[in-house]
Amino acid sequence: MRLCERIALVTGAAGGIGRATALCLAGEGAVVVLSDLNAAGVAETLDLVERFGGSGISITADVMHERDITGLYQRIAELYGRLDIVVNIAGGDREPGADVEDIDYERMSANLDLNLKSCIISCREAARMMKPQGYGRIVNMSSLVYRGSPNQFSYAASKGGIYAFTRSLAMSLGRFGITVNALAPALVEVPAFVAALGAERWELLRQDCAARYPLGRVATPEDVARCALFLASDDAAFITGQILEISGGARL
Ligand SMILES: NC(=O)c1ccc[n+]([C@@H]2O[C@H](COP(=O)([O-])OP(=O)(O)OC[C@H]3O[C@@H](n4cnc5c(N)ncnc54)[C@H](O)[C@@H]3O)[C@@H](O)[C@H]2O)c1
Does the Cβ of 21 fall within 6 Å of ligand 1? no
Q: What is the pLDDT of residues 43-77, one digit of tens each?
A: 999 999 999 999 999 999 999 999 999 999 999 99
Q: What is the pLDDT of residues 124-154, one digit of tens each?
A: 999 999 999 999 999 999 999 999 999 999 9
Atom of ligand 1 nearest to the CA of 218: 3
Which of 119, 106, 217, 115 has the alpha carbon at shortest distance from 166? 119
Give the largest CA-CA distance in the chain.
51
Mind listing the pLDDT tens digit of every residue in the chain (252 residues)? 999 999 999 999 999 999 999 999 999 999 999 999 999 999 999 999 999 999 999 999 999 999 999 999 999 999 999 999 999 999 999 999 999 999 999 999 999 999 999 999 999 999 999 999 999 999 999 999 999 999 999 999 999 999 999 999 999 999 999 999 999 999 999 999 999 999 999 999 999 999 999 999 999 999 999 999 999 999 999 999 999 999 999 999
Does the Cβ of 38 fall within 6 Å of ligand 1? yes
How many angstroms from the chain centroid is the CA of residue 194? 19
Catalytic residue among 73, 155, 163, 213: 155
Does the Cβ of 89 fall within 6 Å of ligand 1? yes
Let me know if 155 is a catalytic residue.
Answer: yes
Which of 13, 101, 93, 96 has the alpha carbon at shortest distance from 58? 13
Domain spanning 7-188+221-246, CATH architecture: 3-Layer(aba) Sandwich (3.40)
Which of 55, 67, 73 has the alpha carbon at shortest distance from 11? 73
Name residue 148's beta-bridge partners.
none
CA distances, 78 to each of 49, 87, 243, 252 (Å): 22, 20, 32, 45
